Amino acid sequence: MTFTIVFLIAFIASFGLRHWLSQRQIHHVAINRDVVPAEFASQITLAEHQKAADYTIAKLRLGIFENGVSAIILIAFTLLGGLQILNMGLLQLLGEGVAQQIALLVSIVLISGIIDLPFSWYKQFYLEERFGFNRMNAKLFFSDMFKGLGIGGAIGIPLLWVILSLMAQAGDFWWLWAWGVLTVFSLLMQWIFPTFIAPIFNKFQALEEGPLKTQIEALLSRCDFASQGLFVMDGSKRSAHGNAFFAGMGKAKRIVFFDTLIEKLNPGEVEAVLAHELGHYKCNHIRKRLLVSFALSFATFALLGWVSTQPWFYNDLGVMPNPNGYNGGLALALFMLVSPAFSFFLTPLSSLASRKHEYEADGFAADKSSATDLISALVKLYQDNASTLTPDPIYTAFYSSHPPAPLRIANLKRFKSES
Ligand SMILES: [Zn+2]
């Protein structure tokens, strides 16, 4: 019973906190809807500012509704016995063993996916559409979905089979082996994803010769950065939002620009955005993030290794463990369902670290490229993506991976006056 109460407290607190933060953000954006902040008044019109407010609020309202639905699903699976019924049904069908445990996890993923489907559909074809960001059609939506399912199954099921077999046969320290497998797997994915998976969804073309390419190559040599080529990705196939990113590790680093980014920004601004991304690399943010994620997954697996042997972990969450073995899938399922209610409270820590990294990368960009160009690129991106310029401070502190626009730009202006 004790753990039921602990779980319920974390569940209610995390649900309530999510809801409260969203309401705060809605309120803050709404009361600032009628005036463009002074520092942006020359570049952003009132109509654009109001569009950003409406878009932000529409996304938050959908998020509040989704938060409610996922709360119901979580309680239905655990305390109301959904997982128990599913486990019993699959035991009758398949008997005990790793296959049954895989089937249990796959069923949960499929059930959650089916429940999530109307939300993704609404988000793409109503919300994004209403604000002019959607570039997808139903055919692409479903082809993405089936490709995702196919690839997820082809990679995920063998991986699950390895982890569940370790759980069943590798003794008390199975979790250490499983952690090792997952760590090697995620390192491999850094190479597999850009090389084999991303091209299934998008086209990548070499950046054409011209002033932009010359400028980018000059920046790369200034930053002493060896890349495996510059590519443009057809992001406009799905959305009008723009972005730039890196792919790959070590010697296989590719630089990929969304076509939407190149359309919207001038070469100087593209260079400044890329300099910011290079800053993440040169300040070792990418390596740090990877190391932190390995450390966290180590702690998570150690915890899972312990709770999976405790009868209360199952009983207090509404399931009966199989008395003679093969509970790996059940433990994994419960853990995946329940742990977000606890780990949610760590969000502000990772947001804080991320915002610190953003400032550092901006500093790097100001040094190697131009603060002025980065500022004008950011303003254009805020404008084009209808991102709010007036977020609630507490919401930002909790969730935001990037500093709010006014602070970020004020920080860049500091570099401008120094140089
Ligand atoms: Zn960044």
Give the amino acid at 189: M
* Beta carbons within 10 angstroms of residue 80's beta carbon: 13
Confidence label for 417 from pLDDT (cuts 50, 70 and 90):
low
CA separation for the pair 401, 406 (Å, rounded): 15
| 1 has pLDDT over 90 | no
pLDDT of residue 252: 62
User: Average pLDDT of 37-47?
Assistant: 90
Cα 276 to ligand 1 centre (Å)? 6
Structure tokens given for 411: 């920080």
pLDDT digits (tens, 9 = 90+) for 378-414: 999 988 889 999 999 999 999 999 999 899 999 999 8
pLDDT of residue 241: 79
pLDDT of residue 193: 85
pLDDT of residue 247: 61
Cα 382 to ligand 1 centre (Å)? 14
18 touches 340 (CB < 8 A): no
pLDDT digits (tens, 9 = 90+) for 196-208: 898 899 999 999 9
| 250 has pLDDT over 70 | no
Give the amino acid at 140: L
CA separation for the pair 28, 25 (Å, rounded): 5
Catalytic residue among 128, 269, 271, 277: 277
Identify the structural domains of the chain with CATH numbers, from first to last.
202-263 (3.30.2010.10)
Distance of CA 20 to the CA centre of its chain: 21
CA separation for the pair 389, 159 (Å, rounded): 43
174 touches 166 (CB < 8 A): yes
pLDDT of residue 249: 56
8 touches 377 (CB < 8 A): no
Spell 171-183 as b/e; 16+ CB within 10 A means b. Answer: eeebbbbbbeebb
pTM comes to: 0.88
* Beta carbons within 10 angstroms of residue 371's beta carbon: 23
383 touches 49 (CB < 8 A): no
Q: Is 384 a catalytic residue?
A: no
Task: Judge whether 39 is annotated as a binding position.
Answer: no
pLDDT digits (tens, 9 = 90+) for 69-109: 999 999 999 999 999 999 999 999 998 889 999 999 999 99
Task: Judge whether 241 is annotated as a binding position.
Answer: no
pLDDT of residue 411: 93
40 touches 376 (CB < 8 A): no
Cα 359 to ligand 1 centre (Å)? 8
Inter-residue long-range contacts of 243-248, CB under 8 Å, 24+ positions, other chains counted: 244/270, 244/273, 244/274, 244/277, 245/277, 246/277, 246/280, 246/281, 246/286, 247/193, 247/194, 247/198, 248/190, 248/191, 248/194, 248/195
Q: Is 116 a catalytic residue?
A: no
Catalytic residue among 269, 362, 373, 384: 362
Q: Is 328 exposed, middle or buried (0-12, 13-18, 19+ CB in 10 A)?
A: buried
| 326 has pLDDT over 70 | yes
